[in-house]
Amino acid sequence: MSAHVEVQQLQVVAETDTGGTITIVDDVSFAIDKGQVLALIGESGSGKTTIALSLMGYARGGCRLESGSIRIGATEVMDLSREQLGQLRGRRVSYVAQSAAASFNPSRTIMDQVTEVAAIHHLMPRQQAQKKAVELFRALALPEPDSIGSRYPHQVSGGQLQRLMAAMALISDPELVIFDEPTTALDVTTQIDVLRAFKKVVQERNITAVYVSHDLAVVAQMADQVVVLNKGAIREQGATAQVLDAPRDEYTRTLMAAARQPQRHGPELDSAVPPLLEVRNLLAGYGKIDRQGQPAVPILSDINVSLQRGATLGVIGESGSGKSTLARVIAGLLGPAAGQVLFDGEVLPPTLKGRSREQFRRIQIVFQNADTALNPAHTIARILGRPLTFYHGYRGAKKQQRIAELLELVQLPANLAGRPCSELSGGQKQRINLARALAAEPDLILCDEVTSALDTVVGAAILDLLTELRSKLNLSLVFISHDISTVRSMCDEILVLYSGQKVEYGRREHFVKPPFHPYTDLLIASVPELQQGWLERVAQRPALPEIGRSVKSLELCHFLERCPVRIDGRCNRLPPPRVQMQRGNEVLCHHGEQELRELEIPPLKCVAGGAG
Amino acid sequence: MNQLLLLLGKRIGAALLTLLLVSAVVFFISSLLPGDAAQAMLGQSATPEAVAALRSALGLDQPGHIRYVHWLGGLLTGDPGISLANDMPVAELVATRLPKSLVLAGITTLVAVPLALFLGIYAAMHSGSRTDRVLSTLTLCMVAVPEFLLATVAVLVFAVKLRWFSALSYAPPDASLGEFLSAYAMPVMTLCLVLVAQMARMTRAAVIDQLNQPYVEMAVLKGASLGRVVLRHALPNAIGPIANAVALGLSYLLGGVIIVEVIFNYPGVASLMVDAVTNRDMPLLQACAMIFCAAYLVLVLFADICAIVSNPKLRS
């Protein structure tokens, strides 16, 4: 039997402004059998999304499907007219986009959009489509499946929206589903639920699918076949097990190496020296501060951390945990509602207004997105020159020389200085972003998700650079990330934030084996492993223990709502104590050290799990 | 729902406050105009004593802030004072003219808004095509031409040369439909040309902005036709910007109407206001200015309310 989907010698070109064309996908051929999942993996610019979209006969603005053959069942997609393509899309081939938040129409209800496919293709009456949608919501483990459809996209969470989008793709029982990086924008603890839901429907309905991703570990869970792409061409293809265990291509091996985080050790630290940075009893948030000293929207509460000179503090937590707020308070962009930030033994004025130029200089911040942090109209020399003049009064030849030194420091060629930063690649921009901070010759750099927007290989190079600079310049870093493996690889100490609470704090070595705080445990266990079958081994989460109503007005554990080991009568009645573990970790939990060690927290450890 | 009402209430309150500030500005700016009504009424040869007597009779000798409070109180109770130039209540003068201006503005709106929306949406749907480029060039030309030029050329061509319409636009109350159309054709056409061009350009930009959003690509990948994509997906999200474009366009109408009314000698509020300036007739001028400002604020408020109501994030 021939394959269900067959792509042969596909070529996609992009039109340039000058009227010429560039080939962005070249000579790509692959086949997918019915009921199989094929993964397209590669970095940004590898053409993976372009290839996936071409299966729907679609090319984004400025691109064109130039030649080759795309056969789905008995249909040659390249030969279809505009109307025929309309009949193919959504009905026979459907698409799950990377960012569900952007791909749902903000002004229409979810049900309206999920059932629209049925209406466009006249598949079934409205009532029946709604019934089917509710069934799919249930199959995808969405909460309140009967009523969730009547909400608007902004009223549900990111992970739920991603599953709702899968429901939208499945309502027409398509022959082929394209998943385009569907979990990349999600927190790791959410990702695992979404992956599990996807895997279940794919298996139950025997769906043929293309799974686009840059994440090898995720691909290992989802795909039967893997196609590795680089710069629009296939580097390697084969069964998932073969590609992961015995990659034949050099590029595949590079990808695998970048995915496995090496230990990036800093210099040994002298703990007798007073700390460079100390945060004491910090309370911070947004909005007006009321009479009790609470801000209208409290973000961080009761945060105590310190950082040695030359050391790296990792701050980890999911989106909304208050990681960036902590950096903003240290930098002085946001004044704390209570508590202090001490730098080199001195109390820092709460906001930038009170701080001296010298204090500015010594603490620098590097933002996540270099695209928005750097002015695209300025040249590199101007971006780097301004802090040099502002902080050090460098001008003329001295300034030029220093710019060249900075570029060398971040391993960029000196001749980039005259170029506008819009001409650089993402990784180069992030290096300039870093060089801009280094220009001030700071003691402390706050790195806010500096590698999150980058490809794995490029991101790994930035991490290596940071490690090198740190030893060379005796820098201290506050390294904010949502990725525990990066943090474990980079940092000396780790602070785990959950919804603004410091739930665990300790040295890196202690984040490898339990006892952990239940949230740390969830975080660590949710990181996909680079081996097939991990998702199946990780059991379904059992139902959370029943608890009574929570006492209001007390600062209870914020993780209470999601904690698999919560205790009725304790967790919902009393604020959690801060427990010092024997090995030095600080944990905010009602469970003691012995209990946490013995708990063998159920969510992901036991193989034969109960129903979720 | 309560939150929505609160939001709307705040927005309306802000509009009222703005109107109050505007009234102060209108009052004090208009009192900066050189000369005053007493001088204008008595003529150049009047003795200073006579002028002073008339000034005190008219209350012009009182300090500015007291006159402002009196005037504001009058405005709020529906009595904006007595016209200095022709000794009639301002309210009465305005009442005879306002409906005529509203008819002119109304007809223009009825013609211009649907036409502009159609052209804007059509151009956005076919952006980059020949039709789009032709429309873009034409609308750009129209935006660039000042309406007094358009109006004068229209009079020259249609009234003087072709003699299709009368140069004076006035339809008696018992006019037939033909007479009515012929009277309004030229001023409405002049106003529409500039207005349609502006609104169509802004509508096109608003729709194109939405067409570049990922959810539109998603709709295309669901197999939706171009018409469905634009009407069901892009347009609901473009209502806010489009309502703003329409409001801005229509508020432009307020300025345009002054020139057009004067050139076609149309008896509306705008020409009344121009007369008031020539006669130094402060109460009348201030009342007219307040009408224009209030109309502007109402339009902008309307656009904001449209944007709020069409956005589910603000609605809930």
Q: Say whether A108 and B316 touch across the interface (CB within 8 A).
A: no
Among chain A residues, the shortest Cα distance to B225 is held by A86
Q: Over pLDDT 90: what percentage of chain A?
A: 59
CATH architecture of B2-33+94-315: Orthogonal Bundle (1.10)
The pLDDT score that the predictor gives to residue A209 is: 96
Chain B contact probe: residue of A105, A109, A175, A210 with most B CBs at under 10 A: A105
A25 and A70 Cβ atoms separated by less than 8 Å: no
Q: Look at B205 and A421; give whichever has higher pLDDT.
A: B205
- Angle (deg, nearest 10), helices B147-154 and B235-263: 60
A316 and A326 Cβ atoms separated by less than 8 Å: no
- What is the tens place of the pLDDT at every residue in B52-95? 887 777 777 777 788 888 888 888 888 877 777 777 888 888 88
The pLDDT score that the predictor gives to residue A605 is: 42
Residue A606 reports pLDDT greater than 50: no
What is the least distance, in Å, from the CA of B314 to any CA of chain A? 11
Q: Does B225 touch chain A (CB under 8 A)?
A: yes
H-type alpha helices, A474-578 = 484-490, 518-525, 534-537
The pLDDT score that the predictor gives to residue A157 is: 87
Q: Which residues, in sequence order, are CB contacts of A266 under 8 Å at separation 6+?
A: A310, A311, A312, A467, A470, A471, A492
- What is the tens place of the pLDDT at every residue in B206-243? 999 999 999 999 999 999 999 999 989 999 999 989 99
* Residue-range domain boundaries for chain B: 2-33+94-315, 37-79
B94 and B267 Cβ atoms separated by less than 8 Å: no
The pLDDT score that the predictor gives to residue A515 is: 86
What mean pLDDT is predicted for residues A464-472? 91
* Rounded CA separation A348/B75 (Å): 56
What mean pLDDT is predicted for residues A315-329? 91
User: Cis link prior to A515 (omega < 30° from 0)?
Assistant: yes
Residue A401, token pair as written in the block: 């020389």
Task: Please name the residue that has the structure tokens 């930035």.
Answer: A462
State the virtual CA torsion across A496, A501, A504, A505 in degrees, nearest 10: 80
What mean pLDDT is predicted for residues B286-314? 87
* Rounded CA separation A544/A553 (Å): 24
- What is the tens place of the pLDDT at every residue in A506-557? 998 888 888 889 999 889 888 888 888 888 887 666 778 888 888 876 788 9
**pTM score, two decimals?**
0.82
Spell out which residues of chain A touch residue B311, defining contact as CB-CB under 8 Å: 106-107
User: DSSP 3-state assignment of A440?
Assistant: coil
Residue A151, token pair as written in the block: 């909400």
A16 and A63 Cβ atoms separated by less than 8 Å: no
Longest dimension (CA), chain B: 84
What mean pLDDT is predicted for residues A89-114? 92
- Angle formed at CA B274 by CA B270 and CA B278, multiple of 5 degrees: 165
Q: Say whether B213 and A102 touch across the interface (CB within 8 A).
A: yes
Chain A contact probe: residue of B210, B215, B237, B310 with most A CBs at under 10 A: B215
Residue A270 reports pLDDT greater than 70: no
Q: Look at A268 and A165; give whichever has higher pLDDT.
A: A165
The dotted CATH code for A5-98+173-259 is 3.40.50.300
E strands present in A219-329: 225-230, 233-239, 277-289, 295-307, 312-316
Task: Please name the residue that has the structure tokens 């910007």.
Answer: B241
**Chosen CATH of A277-449+459-480 out of 3.40.50.1820, 3.30.1330.200, 3.40.50.300, 3.30.420.40:** 3.40.50.300
Q: Say whether B223 and A90 touch across the interface (CB within 8 A).
A: yes
Q: Say whether A120 and B236 touch across the interface (CB within 8 A).
A: no
Question: Which residues, in sequence order, are bridge partners of residue A69?
Answer: A8
The pLDDT score that the predictor gives to residue B94 is: 86
- What's the count of helices (H) and strands (E) in chain A, helices before strands? 23, 22
The pLDDT score that the predictor gives to residue B316 is: 59
Mean confidence (pLDDT) of chain A: 89
The pLDDT score that the predictor gives to residue A603 is: 46
